[in-house]
Amino acid sequence: MKKILFVSSEAHPLIKTGGLADVSGSLPKALAELSQDIHLILPNYQHLNTSEEIRYVCSLRVDNRDINIMETRLPHTNVMVWLVDYAPFFNFPGNPYNDANGNAWANNAERFTLFCRVAVEVAMNRAHLNWKPDVVHCNDWQSGLVPALLSLEEHRPATVFTIHNMAYQGLFSSSQYYSLNISGRLWHPNGLEFHGMLSMIKGGLVYADRITTVSPTYALEIQTPDFGYGLEGLLRHRQDVLSGILNGIDVEQWNPQTDPAIHQHYDMNSLEQKSGNKTALQQKASLPVNPDIPVFGLISRLVEQKGIDLILDCLPEMMAMPIQFVLLGAGNPNFEHRLQNFAHLYPHKMSVTVGYDENLAHLIEAGSDIFLMPSRFEPCGLNQLYSQRYGTIPIVRQTGGLADSIEDALPESIANGTATGVSFHQAHAGTLMEAIKRTLILFSHKETWRHLQRNSMRKDFSWHNSALQYLKLYNDI
Ligand code: ADP
C-alpha cells in the first residue's frame, strides 16, 4: 500500500473550472478503491460545493503566516481532503484563478506559492498530521513549486507531476520571484527561471521524479515546438521519465442507465430510448421537436484551444443544412457574442446557452446525435469520452487524447467493429466541414449508425484502468 498526497487546485465536486477537477475528483477515489492510502490537499476556497462536515485539524506557521488545516471528505467517497485555510488568499467567491473578466487575480503567485509551501510541510510530515506520504502527486502549475521545494529537502517523498494542459504555465515576473522569498538555489535557467521569468510549471517539469500527461499522444506532442510553448527541449531532455496515461471518467456520474439529469434512461441494447432525451433537449433548447433531424451538441470552454473559431467559420454552411445545434459554453466574450448572433439569426436551428450548467451538459450528451470537439490541441478531453458512453458520436480533430480515444469511422474500422467517431487532421474549417458531411452520411445509414453507437458504448473508460497505470508508476519510482 502506498501513501499518496495528491496536490491539486481543484477537485470535483468541491470546486471545478475544468478537466483538472474531474481528474482530481476521480483518480484519488479510484486509487482508494485499489486500497491505497490517499489524501487530497486543496486550498480552502469560500464556496466549496459540499454538504460534508468540514472540521479544523491543526495550525501551522508558514512563511510568517498562520495557516489552518481543515479536514473533510471528498463527497460520496472515502477520500480525506485537507484544506489549506488562509482567508486572505482563498476566502473569497468566484473562480479560483481569474476575476469575472477572465483576468488572473493579481496575487496568484503569492496564493499558490503559499499553497505549495503548506503542501511541502504536509509532505515532510511537519504539519502535525502524523502522516508521511511515499509519493506526492502534483498537478499543473498551481502545484508546480512542490517538487521544486521538495528537491531541497532530505528524506523527501518521491514526486510525480502531471501536466493537464501545457498552455497554462504559471508565469510571473522575476521581481515577483524575489518577493516570494523562494530559495535562490532554484533560480537558474535549468530551474524555475524561464527567459527571465518565474515559471511555476517548470518546478514540476524540472524537479519531479516522474512526469505524466493525460494521454500518450499529448506526451509526444508536447515535445514539439507546436505544443511545447518553449519547454519542448526540456521535455525531450526528460523523455525517459515522461509518459502519458489517458484519463478515465466517472462512470457512475456519467451513466445513461442511471443519470438523474436526463429524461429517459437507456443502454446500448435500448438505444431507441435515447430519442426521449433528444425530444427533451429540443424542448429545453426551444428548437422544433423532430426525431429525424440530426442534433449536434457542444459543451466547452469557449476558447481558441477548442476550435470554436473553426465552428464559427462552418456555421453559415451548417445553418443551410437540415440540422440542429445545441451549444453550451462560456469564455471568450467575442466567441460568446458571435455564437449568440447565429442563434438569433437561426432560432429554429441553433440554441446557445452561455454559462456553466452541469444538468444541461448531461442532457446535451444524452439528447444529441453528434458531438463536436474540433480542438486545436487537447491534452485528454473528457466530453468525447462522455459522448461515447452516451452513444453520441463525436467529431474530433486528431490530436492528443482525442486521437487516443476515438477510432475514425473508415470502411475498415466500421467493418471490424472498432469505429466510434469521425476524426480529421488539419485545423481548418474546410476539413471540419468535410468531417461534418461525412458524419451526416453515416447518420443517414441507420444500421451503420447503430453500430457506431454500440461500439462507442461498449468501451471501458473507467478510472480503474488509469488508476492501475498510476499505481504502477508510483511503484516503479
Ligand atoms: P478542459 O479541461 O480543457 O476545459 P475537458 O474536456 O478536459 O476540457 O473538461 C471539461 C469539463 O468541463 C467537462 O466535464 C465538461 O463537461 C465541463 N464543461 C465545460 N464547459 C461547461 C459548461 N459550460 N457547462 C457545464 N460543463 C462544462
Name the residue of 23, 27, 140, 301 whose CB sits within 8 Å of the most ligand 1 atoms, as the mutation to test its pocket.
Answer: 301
Name the nearest CA neighbour of 19 among 296, 384, 307: 384
pLDDT tens readout for residues 445-472: 999 999 999 999 999 999 999 999 999 9
404 domain-assigned: yes
List the CATH number of the domain containing 386. 3.40.50.2000
Q: Strand 171-172's sheet: what is its strand order?
A: 171-172, 197-199, 193-194
Residue 193 pLDDT exceeds 90: yes
Answer whether residue 200 is part of any domain. yes
Q: For residue 275, report the distance from its CA to the centre of ligand 1, in Å.
A: 24
| C-alpha–C-alpha distance, residues 335 and 195, integer Å | 32
Burial annotation 44-72 (CB, 10 A radius, 16+ → b, else e): bbeebebeeeeeeeeebebeeeebbbbbb
What confidence score (pLDDT) does residue 250 get? 86
Q: Alpha-carbon distance 129 to 106, whole Å?
A: 32
Cα angle for residues 72, 33, 80 (degrees, 5° grid): 10
142 located within any domain? yes
Q: Which of 299, 298, 280 lies closest to 289 in space, CA to CA?
A: 280
The Cα–Cα gap between 38 and 157 comes to 14
Q: What is the mean pLDDT of residues 303-313?
A: 97
The boundaries of the domain holding residue 127 are 3-248+464-476
Cell 512526469 -> residue: 211
Does residue 360 sit in the same domain as residue 243? no
Sole residue written with cell 491543526: 58
Report how far ligand 1's centroid is from the alpha carbon of 170 (Å): 21
- What are 94-139's pLDDT values in tens digits? 899 998 887 899 999 999 999 999 999 999 999 999 999 999 999 9
Q: Are residues 99 and 163 in the same domain?
A: yes
CA 383 to centroid of ligand 1, rounded, Å:
7
**201 and 292 co-located in one domain:** no
Do 101 and 238 share a structural domain?
yes
How many Cβ atoms sit within 10 Å of the Cβ of residue 6? 27
Residues 311 and 382 in one domain: yes
Alpha-carbon gap, residue 145 to 112, rounded angstroms: 9
The CA distances from residue 5 to 38, 134, 155, 171, 371, in Å, are: 6, 8, 16, 25, 36
DSSP string, 122-133: HHTT-SSS----
Are 62 and 94 members of one domain? yes
Residues with Cβ within 6 A of ligand 1? Answer: 18-19, 22, 299-301, 328-330, 356-358, 361, 380-383
Expressed in angstroms and rounded, the spacing between residue 262 Cα and the centre of ligand 1 is 18
Q: Considering the domain boundaries, does residue 28 fall inside one?
A: yes
pLDDT tens sequence across 408-447: 999 999 999 999 999 999 999 999 999 999 999 999 999 9
- State in Å: Cα 379 to ligand 1 middle: 13
Count the residues in the chain.
477
Note whether 377 and 442 are same-domain residues. Answer: yes
Number of domains in the chain: 2
**100: amino acid identity, one letter:** A
pLDDT tens digits, residue range 236-253? 999 999 999 999 998 988
Strand bridging mode 135-139 / 242-244: unpaired
Are 70 and 93 members of one domain?
A: yes
Same domain, 244 and 347: no
Residue 262 lies in a domain: no
Residue-wise pLDDT for 24-56, tens only, equals: 999 999 999 999 999 999 999 998 999 999 999
Q: Do the domain assignments include residue 143?
A: yes
Same domain, 115 and 239: yes
**Cell reading at 109:** 503567485
pTM of the model: 0.92
Q: Are 329 and 456 part of one and the same domain?
A: yes
CB 295 within 8 A of CB 321: no
Residue 236 lies in a domain: yes
Q: Is residue 387 part of a domain?
A: yes
Atom 17 (ligand 1) nearest CA: 18
C-alpha cell at 127: 504539519
Distance from the alpha carbon of residue 348 to the mean position of ligand 1, in angstroms: 26
Q: Are residues 56 and 183 in the same domain?
A: yes
Closest protein CA for atom 19 of ligand 1: 300
- 448 CB-side CA count, 13 A: 18
Interval 395-403 mean pLDDT = 98
- How far apart are alpha carbons 294 and 278 in whole angstroms? 10
Which residues 6+ apart lie within 8 Å of 228 measured at CB? 166, 222, 235
